[in-house]
Chains A and B, each alone.
Chain A
Amino acid sequence: MLIRTHRFGDLDVAEESVIHFPEGLVGLSQFKRFVLLEDPESPDLIWLQSADEPRFVLATIRASKLGQMYAVEIQDEDRKTLNLKDPEEAEAFVVLNRVEGKFYANLRGPVIVNIAEMLGKQIVLTNPAYGVRHPVDAVGQPHLATS
């Protein structure tokens, strides 16, 4: 199927690569179908692109890039939405934001994708230590406070 994107132009994407978000994103329930696009220039950068709105795109990195200090705990109700039976099938992505030239990561609301069933959900972690605007040095070089 053809997906129109503002950033990369028109892309021909296999139907099976479209990820369904039954609830949309937090506060943005109108967007329910996305694709994940690996940036051709920055290897760690992955774009969460709406399949329906060319201009709606979020920059993300894999949560694993943040190292051991960042733990994503998936609650039972999220597991159900994602139809997640095997934890191996879950891939977590952290949304990046750019404010006045600096990069920040939203640690509190990671996007989880069941990579076998292509179901997605943005979950809300309960750990209050995870902020929605955590500074990262640059894409692919996140620095988590060690204290």
Chain B
Amino acid sequence: MLVLSRQLDESIMIGDDIVITVVDIRGDKVRLGIAAPTKIPVHRQEVYELIQRENMQAAFVEAQQGDAAPAPAGAPKPAVLKPKKKS
């Protein structure tokens, strides 16, 4: 891991278009400002990982349930949600 020392209001650049700035330092808390293109999602790591884990667990549970009870032939089919076009 690259480790850099930065002071208040100093920044680091990642690639051409991501800038991370130290906005505030108070005790053991550092506030960072992140400027990145909108196509790059930025999240707190712990929240991102929690949601990822829930997604995988929920999908896994459904796949397991599907194993237990596969769709029988002639079972009712679900309705597909259609786009709502503006009139």
**Chain A residues close to B by CB (< 8 Å):** 5-9, 11, 13-14, 16-17, 23, 25-28, 35-41, 46-47, 55-59, 76-77, 80-81, 86, 89, 95-99, 106, 108-109, 115-118, 122, 124, 132-133
Contacts and interface: CB of A to CB of B under 8 A. Distances in A.
B39 to A, nearest CB: 8
14 contacts: A6-B66, A6-B70, A7-B71, A8-B78, A9-B73, A9-B75, A11-B80, A27-B51, A27-B56, A36-B81, A58-B55, A89-B84, A97-B58, A108-B51
Interface stretch (B1-9, B15-23, B25-33, B40-48): B40-48
Contacts of A77: 38, 41
A35 B43 CA distance: 26
Interface string B55-87: 111110111011000110101111111111110
A10 to B, nearest CB: 9
A116 B83 contact: yes
A118 B7 CA distance: 45
Interface of B: 38-39, 41, 43, 47-59, 61-63, 65-66, 70-71, 73, 75-86
A116 B86 CA distance: 7
A26 B55 contact: yes
Contacts, number: 134
A117 B85 CA distance: 8
A28 B78 contact: no
Given A14-B82, A36-B80, A40-B76, A58 B62 contact: yes
Contacts of A7: 62, 66, 71
A58 B81 CA distance: 15
A98 B61 contact: yes
A118 B82 CA distance: 9
B54 A109 contact: yes
B56 to A, nearest CB: 7
Contacts of A11: 77-78, 80
